[in-house]
Amino acid sequence: MLRSLSIPARGTALIALGLLVLGASVLAGCSPQGESDPAANQAGAGLTAYFDATIIDGTGGPPITEGVLLVRDGRIERVGSADEVDVPEAAILVDLSGKFVMPGLIDTHVHVGGTLGLEGGHYSTENILRQLGLYARYGITTVNSLGDDQPEAIDVRDSQNTAALDRARIFVGGTVVTGDTAEEALAVVEENAAMGVDWIKFRVDDNLGTVPKMSPSVYQPVIERAHELGLPAAVHVYYLDDTKLLLESGIDFIAHSVRDAEFDEETIGLFAGRNACYSPTLTRELSTFVYEDTPDFFADPFFQAEVDDEIIAQLSDPERQQSVKENRAAQLYKEALPTASANLMALTNAGVRIAFGTDSGPPARFQGYFEHLELAMMADAGMTPAQILKSATIDAAACLGLDDVGTLEAGNWADFVVLGANPLEDILNTRTIEAVYIAGNRVSRR
Ligand SMILES: [Zn+2]
């Protein structure tokens, strides 16, 4: 016996999420076990039905009201309105009335595994897993680690293709490719490929005029070789002219904002022509200067929940704040931030794919919280909540070449976030997290 959920669900008093997990037969009116249809029970075995939520499925269509999400073996089996989706009798029910469900967020530019407290140099499997748990608790269910990754990260990535997963998924860039000659750089590409990376990453930047830049004669063979190996190429940039030449050279992913000049039509056209992705990392800029004072977010309980008081105290030290105020690079990055915001809007308005990215992970770029800060900065730059969510879900997944995360559609992993308020009304509502699920497993609190 298959039946629609809407009638019994509406008859049920609102019960807090997490308390109501019942067998469907209970809601069906306590019918004796003998009367149930064995075939229907078979169909419901191992199935969980999340019901009566407003579902934002990430495809850009209108939200599904009175939505039902069916999950089995870590993946979405069906999603739709209560009218469309029948729930087998034996399914486990989770009442999400009054809640909003969105796909787990995807950060396309992070660094995982090295930082502990405010220190680098702590790379280990344990630290990778700890950080992936932290991301997960903030609703970031997939991250792309673009640099300084070691074989431990490859092993962690290779163990995540399971319905038992309950931490963020990771994809890996390996060692940032460097070299004075093409030969030297290509040797690093080969080492990365042998390790099993998902990306080839390099830098074309002079760090505000302080170091030599990688030249096209070095990076063009790197891009070419990456593509021969079937790997996309990502680049750290700062300057518009470099970005233009990189796009002409076939780059797939611009991993930071262009900050020296505003985009021109020609460069915007190059993005479209290559279908290249652009990752703003506005919070990376923020992190360079924000600790010159005590940031407002130090008082935010959503931040405090995952950051030790000791770290907040260290970053609030007046001497440290003074050194940030006097730091030339910090002040130049601060001056350049409005250009980054304007460029984000120019590309957004042109329909270029914006790959949500923060560069979180290095010391004082707080994983999880900085993603939510980035969402807010994208809104401040002028993006609508729908545009921002698109960037952090379906577009981020596409920019990473992932086809089974980023949207809540049949066949995808059941990676989703339950919110108390509608993120399409105000992007800050992504902070009203009530539960996070990865492969259908509820992520436990700290
Ligand atoms: Zn980075």
Ligand 1: distance of its center to the CA of 193 in Å? Answer: 19
Our measurement of the distance from residue 273's CA atom to the centroid of its chain's CA atoms, rounded to an integer in Å, reads 25
pLDDT score recorded for residue 41: 58
d(CA 284, CA 373): 11
Q: What is the pTM of this model?
A: 0.92
Looking at residue 182, its amino acid is A
Q: Which domains does the chain have, with CATH numbers?
A: 2-98 (2.30.40), 104-407 (3.20.20.140)
Ligand 1: distance of its center to the CA of 134 in Å? Answer: 18
Closest CA to 71 of 403, 397, 411, 393: 411
pLDDT score recorded for residue 445: 85
Ligand 1: distance of its center to the CA of 86 in Å? Answer: 45
Ligand 1: distance of its center to the CA of 167 in Å? Answer: 21
Ligand 1: distance of its center to the CA of 110 in Å? Answer: 6
Our measurement of the distance from residue 220's CA atom to the centroid of its chain's CA atoms, rounded to an integer in Å, reads 29
Ligand 1: distance of its center to the CA of 21 in Å? Answer: 41
d(CA 152, CA 166): 18
Concatenated DSSP letters for 372-423?
A: HHHHHHHHHHT--HHHHHHHHTHHHHHHTT-SSSSS--TTSB--EEEESS-T
Ligand 1: distance of its center to the CA of 35 in Å? Answer: 59
Do the beta carbons of residue 405 and residue 172 sit within 8 Å?
no
Ligand 1: distance of its center to the CA of 253 in Å? Answer: 12
Do the beta carbons of residue 68 and residue 85 sit within 8 Å?
yes
Phi then psi for residue 219, to 5 deg, are -80, -25
Ligand 1: distance of its center to the CA of 393 in Å? Answer: 20
pLDDT score recorded for residue 91: 95
3-state secondary structure of 362: coil
Count of CA atoms in the C-beta half-sphere (13 A) of 419: 25
d(CA 358, CA 111): 10
**Which residues of 156-243 form beta strands (DSSP E)?**
169-172, 200-203, 233-236
- Which residues of the chain register pLDDT less than 50? 1-20, 22-36
pLDDT score recorded for residue 287: 98
pLDDT score recorded for residue 74: 98
Ligand 1: distance of its center to the CA of 224 in Å? Answer: 22
Looking at residue 440, its amino acid is G
Q: Please name the residue that has the structure tokens 């939520």.
A: 53
Q: What angle do CA 337, 177, 183 make, to 5 degrees?
A: 135
**Residue 51, strand partner residues:** 68, 95
Compute the Cα dihedral for 130, 136, 142, 147 and give only its sign.
Answer: negative
Closest CA to 392 of 412, 376, 380: 376
d(CA 219, CA 251): 10
**What is the separation, in whole angstroms, between the first and last Cα of the chain?**
41
Do the beta carbons of residue 232 and residue 401 sit within 8 Å?
yes
Ligand 1: distance of its center to the CA of 365 in Å? Answer: 11
Ligand 1: distance of its center to the CA of 235 in Å? Answer: 9
d(CA 233, CA 248): 13
Give the count of beta carbons closer than 10 Å to the beta carbon of residue 185.
20
Sequence-distant (≥ 6) Cβ neighbours of residue 313 within 8 angstroms: none
Ligand 1: distance of its center to the CA of 312 in Å? Answer: 23
Phi then psi for residue 358, to 5 deg, are -125, -25
Rounded to whole angstroms, what are the CA distances from 365 to 268, 313, 356, 376?
A: 29, 15, 15, 15
d(CA 23, CA 29): 11
pLDDT score recorded for residue 34: 36
Q: At what angle do helices 328-349 and 265-274 cross, to 10 degrees?
A: 70
Ligand 1: distance of its center to the CA of 109 in Å? Answer: 6
Here the contacts of 76-84 (C-beta below 8 Å, separation 24 or greater) are 76/408, 76/409, 76/410, 76/411, 76/412, 76/413, 76/414, 77/47, 77/410, 78/410, 79/55, 79/408, 79/409, 79/410, 82/4, 82/5, 82/6, 82/9, 82/51, 82/52, 83/4, 83/6
